[in-house]
Amino acid sequence: MVANAVFMTTIIFLALGIFLLQECRFLIPYRHVLFMDYGGAMLIYAGGLFVNLFAGIWWLCRTVFLKDTGRKLAHLEKQLRGRESILDELGRRLED
């Protein structure tokens, strides 16, 4: 789950970076000044943006993909604690 969120965050972050590079062509002559004077601030901002984007995508993945996990685990626990265990049921299915 985390690897998927990191992958999706990286793809979105790269797409945003490419878009900004295309839109800010007028800053090319000043790139040396920008990176020397404001490089640290841009790096901190980019890191914060990456972390926030990752957190949002991770939350979205957990919400969408793990929707009924609690109900499913409760059903499994009820089966395990019941008279007839899930292992007996699996054994019967394998015999068929």
Are 19 and 59 spatial neighbours (Cβ–Cβ below 8 Å)? no
Q: Using 50, 70 and 90 to split pLDDT, how confident is the model at 93?
A: confident
Q: What is the average pLDDT across 56-70?
A: 82
Task: Say if residue 13 is in the same domain as residue 43.
Answer: yes
End-to-end CA distance of the chain: 35
Residue 23 shares a structural domain with residue 55: yes
The pTM (predicted TM-score) of the whole model is: 0.66
| pLDDT grade for 69, boundaries at 50, 70 and 90 | low
Domain interval for residue 87: 68-96
Q: How far apart (Å, rounded) are the C-alpha atoms in residues 17 and 14?
A: 5
Question: What is the distance between the alpha carbons of residues 22 and 91, in angstroms, rounded to a whole number?
Answer: 61
Q: What's the count of helices (H) and strands (E) in the chain, helices before strands?
A: 4, 0
Do 51 and 17 lie in a common domain?
Answer: yes
